[in-house]
Structure 1
Amino acid sequence: MRDAAGFQTILAPADGRVVAVRQLHDAVAIDHALDRAVAAQPAWRETALSERMAICTRFIAAFQEKSDAIAAEITAQMGRPIAQAPGEINGLADRARTMINLAPAALAPLRPTPIAGFERFIRREPLGVVYVIGAWNYPYLITVNSVIPALLAGNVVVLKQAPQTLLCAERFAEAFAAAGLPEGVFQFLHLTNHDAESVVRDKRVDFVAFTGSVATGHRVVRAAADRFAGVGLELGGKDPAYVRHDAVLDHAVANLVDGAFFNSGQSCCAIERIYVDAAIYQPFVDRFVAATNQYRLGDPADPATTLGPMVNAAAADFVRGQIKAAIGQGARALIDEAAFPASAAGTAYLAPQVLVDVDHTMDVMRRESFGPVVGIMKTPTDQAAIDLMNDSPYGLTASIWTQDSAQALRIGDALQTGTVFMNRCDYLDPTLAWVGTKDSGRGCTLSSIGFEHLTRPKSFHFRSVT
């Protein structure tokens, strides 16, 4: 919540209490931060990669020293149950270490086949100032995907964190300062949407890494287009799963329930639609409903809570609207909301919901829900499942549940998606490229390929003359 005096207030989704109040940075502060970033970049670029790696390693240690406090802040700011919040801290450390380990090979010069009398190679040059616009749903995991590789590559970083999770930007800065990162190499700005867009347009920014909605992604691209700035986009998803007739049923159910409802479904790669072979459809649905009913919706500060509130009441009401509209079109809701007494209209608390008798005329099967609802459809063949999985404006991840890896590969080859899983879902492996197709994004983060989007190639072609 932002007031007229230029202050941003973070309200806890759990109970509406004030978590923190921060003054937003004005045009003067933005100008100063970008000037400092530009001034700091040449020396950071010349810093040895080994030293950059050492600083990033110390950052991880400094960050993990505050694990308990950071976990409590995650719960307070965006409502994830306290029993689950520490997982994000561990995930940040894992991703950062992976990128540190990949950096020497990923950033090494490329040398073609030698030719007598010539020296030829390609260096990966840093872009300069990288502007990272983070998201609230995984404020550390998403942000680290860009921040650590950008710094390792010799760029400087300016971070704008989502208003709901402003404290996370400050935790990044605190840990980098403790790690001995030179001044100006990492900075954060608390900004209005208007001012955040003005930074995208600023000629001092060389690359924008944005995570958020498709609509805002379009705005970022338009803002950067006039000066050809590079833009990386991690946007929405409506990620599907296909459960084949030979799936290990209990394994599929347990993992897909978690993939649909972890973090209250507020993940770009959450499972939002499931297609099940007709031969096992009913037993799958029965077990899925039974597992969903095991969740405990309540105060995220209670260690016994397994499903917390959504980020705000408006987000929860949007999902309620999708559910109501689907039921009006003939869908059946299999979860009794009365079994989750904390769920109430007009609040951020929303019971998980499983819908059957759904089809692709319904908004809940086409438009990103970003909440604890999933639709399940019966499918007669692999090809029918492929067609349904591809029938979406999104393409982030897709999962196939089977004991036949050859069939999983065949089906995966036909899917329009960035990642194909077999027998797992809602997971990000930092050694693999994180990438989307269609409206799910542009560019790539993580893996050795992720460094390519944060650097530019520069060729050297030397000829010896005697």
Structure 2
Amino acid sequence: MIEQSLATEKRTTSTNPATGEVIGSTKENSIADLQNAVSEARTAQKVWREKSFAERAKYLFKIRDYLVAHADDISEIISKDSGKTKVDAISTEVLASAMAITYYAKNAESVLERKTLSGGSILTINKRSYVDRIPYGVIGIISPWNYPFAIPFHEVAMALISGNSVILKTATQTLEVGKALKACIDAGELPQGLFHFLNIPGNIAGDAFIDSGIDKLFFTGSVPVGKQLMKKASEKLFPLSLELGGNDAMIVCDDANLYRAVSGAIW
């Protein structure tokens, strides 16, 4: 796999934010590693895209089965690597991801199949228009630390069931979660080269992905970085999806149960 065969000797250390304990280290990948991964992913995707939705779903169900079987261990890794409670990890990340696989596998075909459009004028009554949704190709994903498993897992699953290959870079702060996610995907026994997990420094990852030859990038992170990526992507009309700097408002009424309100605010 890319992490073992292409990584440089430099390593990134992971620590438990609640205790400061060192819990692991991950080899750092180079720009050349990313380019090699894109080449492998493009080759694998040409075969993958020809498989039916039902065939792709079989691979995803293997991933789901592994995730469910190892839910306790994975939630423990998420808790130690991100600082959130194990209950939070298993409920909002692990179980949610397992359910997402089921939904995508069962509904992707009906959502993405060819759609026939009716003519809007008597002049086109003898015409037929269709909408065909085809895979982009190689999808890049840069994910955040706040939901280090669920966010990238959902995006990887959607990309795969749609016929794409994937290159994933998780947040530097939660690389142990990224490796746990990689183990889940590997359990699906996907075609060689279809999925890659890379550890590329965050300060160069965005530009590197856009310049690497991938076909679309999903970035979840801060507003300033999102603006930089949008500026670079706009120069070449590069497909880019951004989810940036979420802020959730909360209103506490005078008659509210303060204990529940505080618990909700902390969550």
One-letter code aligned to 1:154: G
Q: Residues 161-176 of structure 1 correspond to what in structure 2 (within 5 A)?
A: 161-176=170-185
CA contact (8 A) 1:56 1:179 kept: yes
Deviation of the 1:190 alpha carbon: 0.4
Deviation of the 1:130 alpha carbon: 0.9
Aligned to 2:147: 138
CA contact (8 A) 1:199 1:205 kept: no
Which of 30, 39, 43 is matched with 2:43 structurally?
39
Q: Does residue 1:257 correspond to 2:265, yes or no?
A: no
After superposition, give the CA deviation of every residue in 1:304-338 in whole Å (9 maximum; x if it has no partner): xxxxxxxxxxxxxxxxxxxxxxxxxxxxxxxxxxx
**Bigger relative contact order, structure 1 or 2, given CA contacts below 8 A and separation 6+?**
2
Percent identity, aligned pairs only, is: 28
After superposition, give the CA deviation of every residue in 1:395-426 in whole Å (9 maximum; x if it has no partner): xxxxxxxxxxxxxxxxxxxxxxxxxxxxxxxx
Q: Does residue 1:72 correspond to 2:70, yes or no?
A: no
Higher fraction of strand: 1
Q: Whole-Å Cα distance in 1 between the matches of residues 176 and 68 of structure 2?
A: 16
Deviation of the 1:203 alpha carbon: 5.0
Which of 83, 97, 103 is matched with 1:92 structurally?
97
**TM-score, normalised via structure 1 length:** 0.51
Partner secondary structure for residue 209 of structure 1: strand
CA contact (8 A) 1:203 1:227 kept: no
Aligned to 2:67: 63
Deviation of the 1:36 alpha carbon: 0.5
Deviation of the 1:91 alpha carbon: 1.4
Deviation of the 1:253 alpha carbon: 6.9
Deviation of the 1:226 alpha carbon: 2.4
CA contact (8 A) 1:127 1:155 kept: yes
Q: Whole-Å Cα distance in 2 between the matches of residues 82 and 169 of structure 1?
A: 17
Deviation of the 1:239 alpha carbon: 1.8
Q: Whole-Å Cα distance in 1 between the matches of residues 223 and 204 of structure 2?
A: 19
Q: Residues 19-30 of structure 1 correspond to what in structure 2 (within 5 A)?
A: 19-30=23-34
CA contact (8 A) 2:78 2:149 kept: no
Aligned to 1:49: 53
Structure 1 unmatched ranges of 5 or more? 263-466
After superposition, give the CA deviation of every residue in 1:160-203 in whole Å (9 maximum; x if it has no partner): 00011112222232222222211111111101124412433225
CA contact (8 A) 1:34 1:204 kept: yes
Q: Whole-Å Cα distance in 1 between the matches of residues 111 and 259 of structure 2?
A: 38
Aligned to 1:445: none
Aligned residues: 255
Partner secondary structure for residue 124 of structure 1: coil
Deviation of the 1:116 alpha carbon: 7.5
CA contact (8 A) 2:35 2:212 kept: no
Partner secondary structure for residue 199 of structure 1: helix
After superposition, give the CA deviation of every residue in 1:213-246 in whole Å (9 maximum; x if it has no partner): 111111221232222111111111232234679x
Q: Residues 194-343 of structure 1 correspond to what in structure 2 (within 5 A)?
A: 194-202=203-211, 204-242=213-251, 249-250=256-257, 254=260, 256-262=261-267
Which of 3, 7, 13 is matched with 1:9 structurally?
13
Q: Whole-Å Cα distance in 2 between the matches of residues 211 and 143 of structure 1?
A: 9
Which of 110, 126, 132 is matched with 1:105 structurally?
110
Deviation of the 1:77 alpha carbon: 0.8
CA contact (8 A) 1:150 1:156 kept: yes
Which of 160, 182, 203 is matched with 1:151 structurally?
160
Structure 2 unmatched ranges of 5 or more? 1-8
**TM-score, normalised via structure 2 length:** 0.86
Partner secondary structure for residue 104 of structure 1: helix
Once superposed, what is the RMSD of the aligned Cα atoms?
2.4
Q: Whole-Å Cα distance in 2 between the matches of residues 207 and 36 of structure 1?
A: 16
Q: Whole-Å Cα distance in 2 between the matches of residues 239 and 40 of structure 1?
A: 40
Q: Which has more radius of gyration?
A: 1
Deviation of the 1:132 alpha carbon: 0.5
Q: Whole-Å Cα distance in 2 between the matches of residues 220 and 34 of structure 1?
A: 19
